[in-house]
Structure 1
Amino acid sequence: MSKIEHHIFKKNDPERKFNHFICENKFVKKIVIILCNILILAGLVTISIRNDIHETQLYVQENLNQIKNAMNTLAFRNQRYASTVTKAINDLKNQQLQALVTIHYYPKLKEFGFNRGIYPDNLLNGTLLGPGKPNKHIQNDTHIFALLDDLWAEQQHHSITYNYYYISHTLEYFYLSSKSNAINFNATREFFSSPKYKDQRSESQPVTSLYNGFYYTAPYLDFFSNRMVITIKSPVYNKDQVIGDIGVDIPVKSLLSSITLPNKLKSSLNLYLYDVNKKKRIDIFKGYNHTLLPSIQVYTRLSNNTLIHANISSTIFITFAVQILTFGLLILIALNYMNATLRKYKSQKQYYQLEAYTDQLTGLFNRRVLDTVIRKTLEENRKIDKPISMIVFDANDFKTINDTYGHDIGDLALKHISSTIDDMTRDSDICIRLGGDEFCIILPNADLEQALLMADRLELAIFSGYFCHYHIKVAISTGCTVIKPNENLYDALIRADKTLYKNKENKAENRKALQQQLNNYVFKSPPSFQKKE
């Protein structure tokens, strides 16, 4: 680290020292850059994937809630239908009414009903079926069938496929909301005696479910359609007794139609119902088959014993991660290129700045620093109330060296002086070549006594060294002063320069006096002694 860099770029603070260390050690610099890029890229990918997973979970959760809301809409509507039918039954219970339609008996099937494709259709829209021969009390219920037709025919727009039905527990029959062929139903007797029927009727449900007015069954295989369905049921009362149920059969596969998912997400999604009691999974939609990678799970509770689950494949997030990684890599390459260009620009700027403030021959500061670096140094020292000293010096008889040995030897003499100065001064000292053989040193935090001591050491060190093959030496004369508070720098420089020339004149007079003494001294031979004759 040169003293010029130390003063111009403030490389004495910890951050600059670290940057300087990194810049000087190319291997460490490359490792640090690679690690930083990896950390940035990893952070970018991690944050992006976390956000994408969170947003996808919320999106899928909203779609699952759409299924739940759609089914709840059907449930509340079904509850209203049950309340209407309950009121109608209680209003008609004491009335002797003529049957609205003829109820047929089918000997081959041993069942009764109507609108089953065997006899001409009647005016009712639904289908009646039940085991054995019809009971005479069923004739009165035909008025309920007409009411159900009106309720079920309400203008309804719904994304889920469903079928309404009314089941009478007392008379054991079904009234379905759509017309069906006889061949589709020929096992009603077995149904009313099956455990499934007993378990799903309202009387077998908890009081809390009946209090709500509706309840959901767990997914099951439908007795008639042979499809997996989930049913919403609402009880129908006569007085305080449950005499029947109005239900909505919803095919499990049709639940998918109530959600709006893009094809890309749908292909990475497995949707299913989960029966909590039986710990059984019933698939609604299967978008992927691989199970090696862990999946992201989202679910919502449809009822006490049924959950709607969605498993999101990790593949979609891995694909997204690769895209983010590629995008992030391109950004980092661009940023690193821009950073390298900027560093190159800054390096060139620093190089030109150093060149502007550097004397090319000696490597010391030139005169331009007087209005920049030194002014800042003076301001900093004045704030902390510390003295600043100045040493001005030049080479004695420098013209004689140039004239006698040539300018190349003169340049070596100047380099010898500058290198000695640079070696003997502190990092905080500012060494300047003012021009020719004139030099200046600014000593922050130094008084006059310390400056004089430094000047004597410099004179001795410079004169003691040889700088060329001619074995000649160069001597300097110095002038020291302390820069006064609020004093103009050039005034202090003039004062130090005057001291320099005064010291140079004193040295010249001393040399003349010494030479005179040498010239006046005569060596006399000892007297000769002759013999007397």
Structure 2
Amino acid sequence: MSKAEQHILKNKTSKWHTEHILCGNNIIRRCLVIFFNLLILVIIVGFSLRQEINETRLYVEANLNQIKKTVDSLAYRNKRYAKTATKSIADFDKNNKQLQVLAEIHYYPKLKEFGFNRGIYPNNLFNGSLIGPGFPNQLIQKDTYLFAVLDELWAEQQVHPIMYNYYYISHALKYFYLSSKLSVDKFNTTKEFFSTDLYRSQRSESQPLNELQKGMYYTSPYLDFFSQEMVVTIKSPVYSNNKIVGDIGVDIPVKSLIQSITLPKTLKSSLNFYLYVIDKKQKIEIYNGYSNRLLPTIPVHTHLNKNTLLFADISPWFFVNFAIKITILGFSLLIILNYMNAVLKRHKFQKQRYQLEAYTDLLTGLFNRRVMDTIIKGIVTENNKNGQPTAVIIFDANDFKIINDTYGHDIGDLALKHISSTINDMTRDSDICIRLGGDEFCVVLPNADLEQALIMADRLELAIFSGFFCHYNIKISISTGCTVIEKKESLHNALVRADKILYKNKKNKDENKKALQQQLNNYIVKSPPTFPKQE
């Protein structure tokens, strides 16, 4: 790299980038580029994947909370129904003499049950179904007024995506009043139900006092005695004279819980929903979206109630697919960015080459006059600010016209190249070598005083005169003029002063040539040195 290239190209690039072994070696540099591209790709994919996992977890958790909110809405409505039923029973007790039977209760010999609205006696106007084992107790006739109240309450039911069924169970008279009309084949109770452990454990009288004070409680998921489905029941006690006489409950099939939310198809197929009963350590499946168990799942949960957790396991393959898409997108983006970077580098390099050509002499490779107002002006200003001197050597070739006229312009060009190459070899990297025009040259020496400039000028004169530059065995000498740029002095004025010194020295060129020849003779070794023989 020539001094002109160093000043224009190298100064625009960091020294570490151009000289460090990691960037100087082409193979290592390419490996580093590949490594950093892969590192960026890993960071992009990792950050995007982390964001996607967090957002998906929050989204699934919001859906689980929506299920809980739907169930809670049924629970609080059930509590209100129980309070209304309790108040109605108290009002019936005050007006007991005025009450009449509102419906006839039948006995079904084949079923060994009593009730109404089971498809056998269709003339009954109640909306629900009454079911009880054995013969009906006459006291049940008074409860027909309660059935009318319950019909009005249950008629308020809002449309929910999940399936549910309200009912009233009388503990004293052993019967069910269901919120809908059911045929015999859909609901068939027996005497055994009211003697089962399931009935005893779920009735309000078996619950802790703090649960009863809340007005409602959740049962753990259990296998329903009649439907043989896993259900969760929410119950609220009904009182008469401060004693629990029955419960109003709502049965929610476990598998219908998933119907209260709407999920994207791709996400839903990557989820498994299930209930987890804490005290029993029991897992109850709600919905299975996938069955692959090769990778660990990502669990999300919320409390359905105090003893039951609602879980959703997210399949890791959902995020693997996302990571593949992001990797492809990131890889494509890196290809585009690397291509754009290569184009920008090529454009920058071309711009620097054009700048180099604009500031460089085509024949000698030295700077031309254009650097006077750019690079040199900046160096002089910086040195003046730091109190450092800047020396200037200006010189031209002696009898250059004679060489051109005698041997031709090709030999003259070789002479100019000889001078320029000698200058490049003899000066420092920080020195700026300029061809002013024709056979006139200039060297700017930053941080050099006049004495150092004179020494450099002598060395240049001797080195140029001592070399042969063509097959004619001719030599060329130069005349020099040295000066130091003074503070607040323009470069032009310093060059004019150096030029005057040059022409003053040029008048004594013959004497200078003899002196150079004498100095050259002193460097010539007339006989080769002898060395002692090695034994």
TM over 0.5: yes
Identify if the C-alpha distance between structure 1 residues 471 and 206 changes in structure 2 by more than 3 Å, giving closer, same or farther.
farther
Structure 1 pair 509–5 and aligned structure 2 pair: CA distance change class (3 A) = closer
Whole-Å separation in 2 of the counterparts to 1:211 and 1:8:
88
Provide the rounded CA distance (Å) in 2 between the counterparts of 1:23 and 1:321: 32
Q: Which residue number corresponds to residue 248 of structure 1? A: 250
CA shift, 1:510, in A, is: 6.2
Where does the alignment leave 5 or more consecutive residues of structure 2 unmatched? 518-535
Q: Does the CA contact (< 8 Å) of 2:398 and 2:509 recur in 1?
A: no
Moved more, 288-297 or 393-402: 393-402
The residue identity in structure 2 corresponding to 1:472 is I
1:376 aligned partner: 378
Of the three residues 416, 419, 430, the one matched with 1:417 is: 419
- Going from structure 1 to structure 2, the CA distance change for 1:7 and 1:99 (only over 3 Å counts) comes to same
Please give the secondary structure, in 2, of the residue aligned with 1:330: helix
- Show CA shifts across 1:13-65 (max 9, x none): 7x354156577532233222212221222222222222222222222222111
Scaled by the length of structure 1, the TM-score of the pair is 0.90
Matched residue, 1:311 = 313
1:144 — aligned with what?
Answer: 146
Distance in 2 between residues matched to 1:511 and 1:456, nearest whole Å: 12
User: Residue 176 of structure 1: CA displacement?
Assistant: 0.7
Q: Relative to 1, partners in 2 of residues 1:441 and 1:208: Cα closer, same or farther, differing over 3 Å?
A: farther
Write out per-residue CA displacement over residues 321-380 of structure 1, whole angstroms, 9 at most, x where no aligned residue: 222222222222222222222211111111111111111222111111111111121222
CA deviation after TM superposition for structure 1 residue 427, in Å: 1.9
Structure 1 residue 512 displacement after superposition: 9.1
Q: Give the C-alpha shift of residue 155 in structure 1.
A: 5.1
Determine the structure 2 residue equivalent to 1:279. 281
Matched-pair contact (CA < 8 Å) for 2:392–2:483: yes
1:357 aligns with 2:359: yes
* Equivalent pairs, count: 514
User: Relative to 1, partners in 2 of residues 1:430 and 1:86: Cα closer, same or farther, differing over 3 Å?
Assistant: same
Alignment of 1:397-476 (within 5 A): 397-476=399-478
Deviations 1:287-343 (A, max 9, x none): 212121222222111101111111222222222222222222222222222222221
**Structure 2 counterparts to residues 196-211 of structure 1, below 5 A:** 196-211=198-213
C-alpha displacement at 1:85, in angstroms? 0.8
Once the two structures are aligned, what percentage of the paired residues are identical?
64
Answer whether contact 2:390 2:445 (CA < 8 A) is retained.
yes
Question: For the residues of structure 2 that align with 1:204 and 1:385, how far apart are their CA atoms?
Answer: 100
Q: Which moved more, 1:242-251 or 1:105-114?
A: 105-114
Deviation at 1:513, TM superposition (A): 12
How far residue 264 of structure 1 moved from its aligned partner, in angstroms, is 1.8
Instruction: Report the counterpart of residue 18 of structure 1 in structure 2.
Output: 17
1:392 is paired with a residue whose SS is strand
Alpha-carbon distance in 1 for matches of 2:123, 2:336: 77
Counterparts of 1:340 and 1:120, CA distance in 2: 87
Please give the residue correspondences for 1:96-495 in structure 2 after superposition, counting only pairs within 5 Å.
96=97, 97-154=99-156, 156-495=158-497
* Structure 2 residue identity aligned to 1:49: L
Cα distance in 2 for partners of 1:134, 1:19 equals 103
Partners of 2:198 and 2:514 in 1: CA distance: 135
- Point out the more displaced range, 69-78 or 372-381: 372-381
- Runs (5+) with no aligned partner, structure 1: 516-533
Aligned-partner SS, 1:137: helix
Alpha carbons of 1:148 and 1:459: their partners in 2 closer, same or farther (altered >3 Å)? Answer: same
Counterpart residue number, 1:45: 45
Distance in 2 (CA, whole Å) between partners of 1:397 and 1:104 is: 143
Seen in structure 2, the aligned counterparts of structure 1 residues 126 and 511 have a Cα distance that, compared at 3 Å, is closer
How well do the aligned residues superpose, as a CA RMSD in angstroms?
A: 2.4
Question: What is the TM-score normalised by the length of structure 2?
Answer: 0.90
2:34 corresponds in structure 1 to: 34
1:509 Cα deviation after fit = 5.3
